Amino acid sequence: MKIIEGHAAIDPHPSIPVLELDPFDEGILRDPFDYYTALREAGPVVFIPSCSVLAVGRHEEVRMAFSDHRRFVSSRGVGLNDFKLEKPWRQPSLILESDPPVHTRVRAVMARALSPKVALGLRETFREEADELVDNLLERGRIDAVHDIAEQFPTTVFPKAVGMQDVNRRHLVDYGAIAANAFGPDNALRRDALARAPEVVSWVTAACARDRLAPGGIGMAVYEGADAGEVSEEEAMLLVRSLFSAGVDTTVTGMGNVLWCLSRNPEAWQRLRAEPDLVRPCIDEAVRIAAPIHTFARTANEETEIAGHPVPEGAKILCGLGCANLDPRKWEDPETFRIDRRPGGHLGFGTGIHGCVGQHIARAEIEAVLLALAARVAAIEPDGDAVWRPNNAMRALDNLPLRLVPA
Ligand code: OVM
């Protein structure tokens, strides 16, 4: 068997269209829209020789792959590496890189620790913190929304909510980006991420220990699952690690992307200021248009089919979440940001049993910032070009220069 990019090379059925491009090319990652169109138009499932994978980019097939966790498993990794064939770069995530029954058991613990009720309890604190941040930013006027808001806010409030004792903001943001780049092929992004990994990983690992977490926080709530016998002490530690890998940089990215959408759509900003109840649909619309996680893979755990095309066992299936979110088969004017679209069925938080378990907390963080801004800022205007930061799995900004006009 030939191995390419950590998984079995595919000998695709001749009925499957071939797409000759590298989906992890830095140019495509910075500006993916033409690639998205090519992927959707080529067919319901395509073969990409550059990394020997199948890929789906239409809403229907991406949703199907994510909803069928029995055929398309996560336990063999949700990047290009097949954990059945190659040793993963870190101990696999118990919740992301697992299947039932393990997944079901640990997910229950995480769902409780990150429940809507927990998010509601954090709302007030988030709002106070956001008001203070915006007051300070208004004194400056010109800001980089990535550094000054999107990285600043979650790295302040989330570690506090988790009960983290000693916070290193840079390591927290970098850990998520490293984990996300590691889902990709053996390219420069992945190699650079893994070169920086040891320092960040050892810091994160130490931060996950029970005695580094304050009582009453989300981290300790996970360890209470161990006290109740639902998970082992070691499993609880790995689940706390997932709070840091999945809970910081994803939210940072979502917050940056929503501000990118609003700063490019001034009429939407005015509408949000007039109708703050639109904050929730606004967040969903931004997560649809610029999904923080643009791609996750699944592995075909048996010989099967997609849209009538044969799929061999062991095939990696790239699932274009960001691509499906812009599928004209599903959305009217998919690339238009409509603050009141209410885009039910978007895949920016995934779907199925692995759908984002932390989304209530993420939404609460972004909501607090948007409401604090909407109450005080008459206009958020571009103050230069947005710069994207290519990542094998994330659609993230590097810089978003903005001018804030006080109300
Ligand atoms: C994890 C995890 C889950 C979701 C995303 C992610 C960006 C990591 O459990 O480690 O990386």
The Å distance, Cα 76 to ligand 1 centre, comes to 14
Q: Which residues have C-beta within 8 Å of that of residue 195, sequence separation ≥ 6?
A: none
Tens-place pLDDT, residues 3-43: 999 999 999 999 999 999 999 999 999 999 999 999 999 99
Report the pLDDT value the prediction gives residue 166, as an integer from 0 to 100. Answer: 85
Does 362 contact ligand 1 (Cβ within 6 A)? no
Q: Whose CA is nearest to atom 4 of ligand 1?
A: 246
What's the domain range around 57?
Answer: 3-406
Distance CA 50, CA 35 (A): 14
Q: If you measure from the C-alpha of residue 356 to the centroid of ligand 1, how many angstroms do you get, rounded to a whole number?
A: 10
Ligand 1 in contact with 93 (CB < 6 A)? yes
Residue corresponding to tokens 């320092």: 199
Q: What was the pLDDT predicted at 93? A: 98
Tally of domains in the chain = 1
Give the pLDDT confidence score for residue 267 in this predicted structure.
Answer: 98
Q: Tell me, what's the pLDDT at 74? A: 99
At 286, which CATH number?
1.10.630.10
Mutation probe of ligand 1 site: the residue of 66, 78, 93, 357 with most atoms within 8 A of C-beta? 93
Is-contact 24 189, C-beta < 8 A? yes
User: From the first residue on, what is the mean pLDDT of each consecutive set of 10 residues in the chain (407 residues)?
Assistant: 96 98 98 98 98 98 98 98 97 98 98 98 98 97 97 98 94 97 98 97 96 98 98 98 97 98 98 98 98 98 98 98 98 98 98 98 98 98 98 98 97
Asked whether 250 and 292 are in contact (CB, 8 A), the reply is yes
Per DSSP bridges, beta strands 316-320 and 53-56 are parallel
pLDDT attached to residue 14: 98
Residue 41 to residue 338: CA distance in whole angstroms: 24
Atom of ligand 1 nearest to the CA of 356: 4
Residue nearest to atom 1 of ligand 1 (CA): 242
Does residue 245 line the site of ligand 1, with CB under 6 A?
A: yes
CA of 242 from ligand 1 middle (Å) equals 6
Interatomic CA distance for residues 399 and 256, integer angstroms: 9
